[in-house]
Structure 1
Amino acid sequence: MALSRMLKLNEICCSRYPVFPQYNSCIPKFSNNVRTFRRVSHEAKSKKPVFESLASPFQNITVNANNIRAQNLWKPLGFTVAFSSVCFGGAAIWQYESMRSHAISMLKQPMGFVHKKTHEAHLKAGSWRRQVNNWWNSLTPGERVFVPICAINVLVFAAWRIPRLQPYMLKYFCSNPGSSNICWPMLLSTFSHYSAFHLFANMYVLHSFSSGAVASLGKEQFLGLYLSAGVISSFTSYLYKTIARQPGLSLGASGAIMAILGYVCTQYPDTKLGIIFLPFLTFSAGAAIKVIVSLDLAGVVLGWKVFDHAAHLGGAACGIAWSYWGNELLWHNREPILQYWHELRGAIK
């Protein structure tokens, strides 16, 4: 009963689900399709030493610790570097295409003709479509980036509620350094939430900071930072779990959100922040990020199991580093990529 209560508390409170202290209890196997989880009840009955396992956020899952080895980190490290490079390269190309499309539309079409065609398109569309268009046009650039991210998270949350999909969700939407599927879950787990409160809390924080971040970075650079930070935070969690020999599932967007939080708080340290339930309490963004990072660092050093503190630190470090060096060292030096894409695009025509 005590274990059940602790697991329920973890489901409600964790931002990225960590693992609990070790339990060698009889936990039935959830699915034959998930290689990293195994039935241990027969081993307990025979009094043979079972694999050292840690309880996951799901009450009937145990995670095998024997598959966690340092040599297995090379593959996720390569995936992290490659995916992050693709993210920022794709963001640069996306920005190029957006600017090119806008320039062509302004040069080739008179403004009166554009307005006329836009008005005709609205008339042809149904009422529901006009309402959706009006709603979408009323959003800020930050909200236009937030809405698709939130929608994906809600869809994945709904998928967790379907019993037949849960083996696949465990396999692909939970990051685990001991799993045979070790790379793509690093990304997919950042869109995965098992608890409704977990989903609400992460999306609320993302919505609060997305407008400011998009205004500073632009939608292309924002999305590149968000996606790459999600994978980097997952790799940081892998690294910590491997060093500490603490297997377990992790899921949630907090690693990527911590990167956005770290960037905004570092870029605008004098911005006043507050807590939704304590509106009278305000503090500076610079102080907030220092406190958050300090708590996560203490969690890593002291081995706290409340959050996936290593993933939080990886995401925050990514956002803070981008604030100091990202624009100058990487984004402002993207001309070679744009030049190559411009020549390639011309060659394709």
Structure 2
Amino acid sequence: MPGEQSNTHSVFIIQNGVARWLPATLRLQESVQNARTQTTGTQTARTQTAGGSGAAEVGPAPLTGPGSPAGPGPSPGLQPPHQALLFHRGGCSFGAAAIWQYESLKSRVQNYFDELQANWLEKLRPQKQGDLRKEINEWWNSLTEGQKTVAGIIFANILVFLAWPLVPPPIMLRYFTSNPASSSLCLPMLLSTFSHMSLFHLAANMYVLWSFSSSAVSMLGREQFLAVYLSAAVTSSFSSYLWKTATGRCVPSVGASGAIMAVLALVCTKMPEAKLAIIFLPMFTFTAANALKAIVVMDTAGLLLRWRFFDHAAHLGGALFGIWYILFGHELIWKNREPLVKLWHDLRTQSGGRPGGPGGAV
């Protein structure tokens, strides 16, 4: 059968030359993802555009001076600290995603044969009616790859939300709010994008992320998607730093909407004719391209008119990053990951030293 020949060929190549097999597999995986993207171009994603879905500003006053929970920091109006710039330019998420994809491709081959061996045992075991574990597994297996990917992000956001009333406020304000006047600058650029102080804010952001997850992951794959999401989170926080420092209004912000805006922007840019709708007004539909234009115009107006309800700089930074990545970043960054993957494979092979062991052949 053709399927059996394909499996045998894959195992042979892995055992005799992973370095040559892997790049071809990565390119094949990308072509499959592109084909999936073309077939999902007409699907409808419903999104929440109510006011609570934006990155919220926590308070009207900067956290500076004696007794400030965030501690003393640079005065407003100074240029953004170099530490934040270096943290933003690190690019570690894409390198980690490339290595993660390499490890996933190797483990999938081994898991395939492990599952074949275990399937007959599963068939012999009697099925229990009403088994909670079985129902959870069926629900999980019914999810798309994108929904499974963002489930961990949503869970992390919920944990941080629950931590606000439990953890001392100075710790939460220092590490889980984005503020260029804080004594901690780098970690909050990422951690603040998992932080929400309002249940409505959390629910709205997570609904939008869940709605666009299937389309985004079908385009990028789960590893690249997570790299883009985390990079967009840091980029949106850095954009907020720049604007707050330039305007001298250094107030803390929280929310995942900057990173989510990047996901929305890359999907709308890749599938401009896809139909979207507002959750409370499903009878009114509009194209993804028009939705993206409206969001960018609204956030630009918010910056110029100094609206204070949302962190419009974070929104714009995330949206522009998503547009840039789907148009140029994928070719510049992800398509050039093979040297890093080859280096990682060589390091694993040298450290392993035996077939089937750490770093050895599958």
Range into which the TM-score falls when normalised by the shorter chain: 0.7 to 0.9
Q: What is the rounded CA distance, in whole Å, between the counterparts of 1:312 and 1:135 in structure 2? A: 33
Match of 1:97 in 2: 103
Match of 1:223 in 2: 226
Q: CA deviation at 1:258?
A: 0.2
SS at structure 2 position matched to 1:175? coil
Q: What is the rounded CA distance, in whole Å, between the counterparts of 1:226 and 1:193 in structure 2? A: 17
Normalised TM-score (structure 2): 0.76
The 1:120–1:229 alpha-carbon spacing in structure 2 relative to 1, beyond 3 Å, is farther
Match of 1:157 in 2: 161
Amino acid at match of 2:346: E
Q: What is the rounded CA distance, in whole Å, between the counterparts of 1:182 and 1:245 in structure 2? A: 16
Normalised TM-score (structure 1): 0.79
Aligned length in residues: 300
Q: What is the rounded CA distance, in whole Å, between the counterparts of 1:156 and 1:144 in structure 2? A: 20
Q: CA deviation at 1:19?
A: 6.7
How far does the alpha carbon of each residue in 1:238-293 deviate from its partner, in whole angstroms, 9 at most, with x for none?
00001111110010000000000000000000000000111111100001001101
1:78 aligns with 2:82: no
Q: What is the rounded CA distance, in whole Å, between the counterparts of 1:123 and 1:205 in structure 2? A: 37
Match of 1:15 in 2: 54
Maintained 8 Å contact 1:299/1:309: yes
Maintained 8 Å contact 2:79/2:246: no
Q: What is the rounded CA distance, in whole Å, between the counterparts of 1:250 and 1:121 in structure 2? A: 53
Q: What is the rounded CA distance, in whole Å, between the counterparts of 1:310 and 1:260 in structure 2? A: 16
Amino acid at match of 1:300: L
Bigger relative contact order, structure 1 or 2 (CA pairs below 8 A, ≥6 apart): 2
Q: What is the rounded CA distance, in whole Å, between the counterparts of 2:322 and 2:313 in structure 1? A: 14
> Cα RMSD over matched residues?
2.7
How far does the alpha carbon of each residue in 1:203-229 deviate from its partner, in whole angstroms, 9 at most, with x for none?
111111011101111111111111110
Match of 2:37 in 1: none
Equivalent residues in 2 for 1:160-309, closer than 5 Å: 160-162=164-166, 164-309=167-312
Q: What is the rounded CA distance, in whole Å, between the counterparts of 1:102 and 1:120 in structure 2? A: 25
The 1:112–1:74 alpha-carbon spacing in structure 2 relative to 1, beyond 3 Å, is closer
How far does the alpha carbon of each residue in 1:117-162 deviate from its partner, in whole angstroms, 9 at most, with x for none?
55579979x9443333232222110110121111111111111122
Q: What is the rounded CA distance, in whole Å, between the counterparts of 1:22 and 1:151 in structure 2? A: 31
Structure 2 portions without partners, runs of 5+: 1-50, 353-362
1:137 aligns with 2:176: no
Q: What is the rounded CA distance, in whole Å, between the counterparts of 1:336 and 1:120 in structure 2? A: 46
Maintained 8 Å contact 1:20/1:305: no
Equivalent residues in 2 for 1:302-317, closer than 5 Å: 302-317=305-320
Q: Percent identity?
A: 49
Q: CA deviation at 1:180?
A: 0.5
Q: What is the rounded CA distance, in whole Å, between the counterparts of 1:303 and 1:170 in structure 2? A: 24
Q: What is the rounded CA distance, in whole Å, between the counterparts of 2:342 and 2:268 in structure 1? A: 33
Q: CA deviation at 1:200?
A: 0.7
